[in-house]
């Protein structure tokens, strides 16, 4: 090849390089984007050449529900309905009761469990099982109350038992106050004792393991008084010892003192002092863990109280189902759901309870009213709130 051709060839190569260097600059997009945060996984990766913009697409929101197998519903925590199911399978309500406290829990001449507290147990059985006789009354002492609730040996306690914060935390669920009481003192009339200060140095009979025992200690200590406690586990033993003269004073809830005094051969020989040293709210209680059962028992108590407010009795309950008052019709199950669906009860469950044992006032008067079969005790704080008392319940609706 001639030298002339070689020169032309190299000239063409040089010119090609010059033209390439002077051409349009390469887009900096890739470099710039390399310094930006990594794009979301759903975005397209950057490219070195510009692409035409795609037309904007509407954004569609899709909600996906994922079910987790075996996860319980929010309205039914662990244990919900377990006691209720057990009661239905067994066919009876097991109630921890008193069998020796006149007016509240005792045996009649036929050996049948009767009393204010027993009727509350029967009301629950009537509402849940449709039969007020479907109960098993288990006698328990004061010391038994906490343990039988904690272990679930009973479905319900309807026995004088004071509701306190500690017991609520440790024992179980206290439902609704059905009797307001206070601790007092029973003394022989001939001792001339009129007040707390007159009992300095006295011997006092008291049931052990109770709030009564603790209140006795604190009230005397606060007053700077001394006493000698004579303690018994059985309530009946307390009053047996008192009658025998083994102590000067017996102390307990005033309703219990009135019940015991009424059973003495000569009640007028004994006086309940006009001294009250504590608050003693008395409700039925259930074991912890089954909120459905807890709600059922509460609602039955509410039903009995509302029935007295509305004038619904065991005698007129069927007639009142057609009342012009919608709240009465709801209470008796002929209007709207009052929560019975969630509780697993029939609409007429409360009507069955009222028909079986009567309303709250009927139950009270049956044993402690002016013509009570046990004794007479003024209702006082246990009047309806509309009559100056403290008995009050949420509406059934």
Q: Are strands 93-97 and 135-139 parallel, antiparallel or unpaired?
A: parallel
d(CA 136, CA 234): 21
Final residue belonging to a domain, choices 241, 257, 278: 278
Q: Considering the chain, what percentage of its residues have pLDDT values greater than 70?
A: 80
Average pLDDT over residues 332-342: 97
Query: What spatial distance separates the first Cα and last Cα of the chain, rounded to whole Å?
Result: 114
Final residue belonging to a domain, choices 258, 278, 298: 278
The top-scoring range by mean pLDDT among 12-21, 53-62, 130-139 is 130-139
Helices (H), the chain: 3-21, 29-34, 82-90, 116-129, 145-151, 165-170, 211-222, 235-243, 254-263, 291-310, 317-320, 326-331, 340-343, 349-357, 360-368
Q: How far is CA 102 from the centre of its chain?
A: 27
Question: Tens digit of pLDDT for each residue in 226-240?
Answer: 999 999 998 889 999
151 and 170 both lie in a single domain: yes
CATH number at residue 132: 3.40.190.10
Half-sphere exposure of 314 (CA within 13 A, CB side): 16
d(CA 131, CA 357): 11
For residue 254 the two structure tokens come to 């005033």
Question: Tens digit of pLDDT for each residue in 145-203?
Answer: 999 999 999 999 999 999 999 999 999 999 999 999 999 999 999 999 999 999 999 99
261 and 357 both lie in a single domain: no
Please state, as a whole number, how many other Cβ atoms lie within 10 Å of the Cβ of residue 152.
Answer: 17
- The total number of structural domains in the chain stands at 2
315 burial via Cβ count (<10 Å: 0-12, 13-18, 19+): exposed
289 and 227 both lie in a single domain: no
Residues with Cβ within 8 Å of residue 98, at least 6 apart in sequence: 104, 105, 106, 115, 117, 139, 140, 159, 160, 235
Contacts 24+ apart (CB under 8 A), 24-27: none
329 and 194 both lie in a single domain: no
Domain span at 216: 183-278
Please tell me the predicted confidence (pLDDT) of residue 120: 98
Please state, as a whole number, how many other Cβ atoms lie within 10 Å of the Cβ of residue 89.
Answer: 7
Final residue belonging to a domain, choices 278, 303, 333: 278
What strand order describes the sheet that includes 105-107? 100-101, 105-107, 113-114
d(CA 279, CA 91): 37
Q: What is the pTM of this model?
A: 0.79
151 and 220 both lie in a single domain: no
């Amino acid at each position: 090849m001639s030298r002339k051709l070689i020169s032309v060839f190299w000239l063409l190569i040089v010119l090609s390089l010059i033209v390439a260097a002077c051409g349009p600059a390469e887009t900096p997009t890739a470099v710039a984007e390399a310094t930006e945060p990594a794009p979301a996984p759903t975005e397209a990766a950057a490219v070195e050449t510009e692409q035409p913009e795609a037309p904007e697409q509407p954004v569609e929101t899709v909600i996906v529900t994922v079910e987790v197998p075996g996860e319980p519903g929010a309205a039914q925590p662990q244990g919900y309905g377990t006691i209720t199911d057990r009661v239905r399978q067994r066919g009876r309500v097991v109630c921890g009761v008193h069998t020796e406290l006149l007016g509240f829990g005792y045996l009649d001449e036929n050996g049948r469990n009767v009393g204010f507290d027993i009727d509350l147990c029967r009301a629950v059985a009537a509402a849940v099982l449709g039969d007020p006789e479907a109960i098993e009354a288990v006698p328990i002492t004061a010391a038994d109350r906490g343990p039988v609730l904690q272990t679930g040996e009973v479905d319900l306690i309807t026995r004088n038992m004071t509701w306190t914060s500690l017991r609520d935390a440790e024992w179980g669920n206290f439902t609704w106050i059905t009797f307001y009481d206070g601790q007092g003192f029973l003394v022989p009339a001939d001792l001339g004792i009129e007040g707390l200060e007159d009992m300095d140095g006295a011997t006092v009979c008291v049931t052990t393991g109770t709030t009564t025992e603790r209140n006795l200690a604190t009230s005397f200590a606060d007053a700077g008084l001394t006493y000698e406690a004579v303690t018994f586990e059985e309530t009946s033993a307390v009053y047996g010892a008192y009658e025998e003269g083994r102590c000067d004073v017996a102390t307990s809830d005033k309703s219990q003192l009135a019940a015991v005094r009424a059973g003495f051969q000569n009640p007028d020989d004994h006086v309940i002092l006009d001294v009250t040293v504590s608050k003693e709210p008395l409700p039925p209680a259930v074991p912890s863990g089954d909120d459905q059962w807890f709600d059922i028992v509460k609602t039955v108590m509410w039903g009995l109280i509302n029935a007295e407010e509305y004038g619904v009795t065991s005698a007129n309950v069927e007639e009142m189902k057609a009342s012009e008052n919608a709240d009465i019709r709801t209470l008796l199950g002929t209007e709207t759901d009052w929560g019975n669906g969630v509780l697993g009860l029939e609409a007429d469950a409360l009507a069955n309870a009222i028909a079986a044992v009567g309303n709250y006032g009927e139950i009270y008067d049956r044993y402690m009213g002016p013509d009570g079969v046990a004794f007479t005790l003024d209702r006082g704080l246990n009047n309806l709130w509309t009559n100056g008392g403290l008995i009050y319940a949420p509406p059934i609706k």
